[in-house]
Structure 1
């Protein structure tokens, strides 16, 4: 779960919530019920999140101020802005591209 949290830039409680609601697909294994999430399931979740965000932007539910705050935060943290929903729309490989860019830092 910590790898999923790292990829999504969120905490473990958020990942647990996503798994518990079924928003992020995963499964539990072993007697301790450890969670596992397949790369494909994580990429699918991210793709759905980008599409949902793009819809919110298109309807005006996300303000210009919201997006500029996110851009400045991610640029400061990673040295480059994260791809926008428009750049990744319809591109399931967006997460792989982002991972590759991060590993080259």
Structure 2
């Protein structure tokens, strides 16, 4: 079995994360996912280790969010906004 590549295309990252290339590009441009711009045409590459770091951080962030916002069955219409008639 060949070793995993060190660098991934944004399309490869999108496939791994099960999202779009545009979403991965947005993660890179916001600085959420570390990447390098290669060559004169500006092709982006993500190191496999940096992707793993991003994934682990995303799990930690989700864990923290869940801890701070416990799920409750009370108020079954939670998430819907109440409207007020004027």
* Cα offsets for 1:53-78 (capped at 9, x unmatched): 000111116x479xxxxxxxxxxxxx
Bigger share in helix: 1
Moved over 4 A (4+): none
1:54-65 to 2 correspondence within 5 Å? 54-60=63-69, 63=71
CA distance in 2, matches of 1:21, 1:48: 15
Match in the other structure for 2:37: 28
Please report the TM-score for the alignment, with normalisation by the length of structure 1: 0.57
CA distance in 1, matches of 2:69, 2:37: 38
* Cα offsets for 1:17-73 (capped at 9, x unmatched): 000011000000011100000000000000000000000111116x479xxxxxxxx
What is the aligned length?
Answer: 64
CA distance in 1, matches of 2:45, 2:72: 36
1:4-83 to 2 correspondence within 5 Å? 4-60=13-69, 63=71
Are the structure 2 counterparts of residues 37 and 56 from structure 1 closer, same or farther at C-alpha, using a change threshold of 3 Å?
same
CA distance in 2, matches of 1:60, 1:22: 26
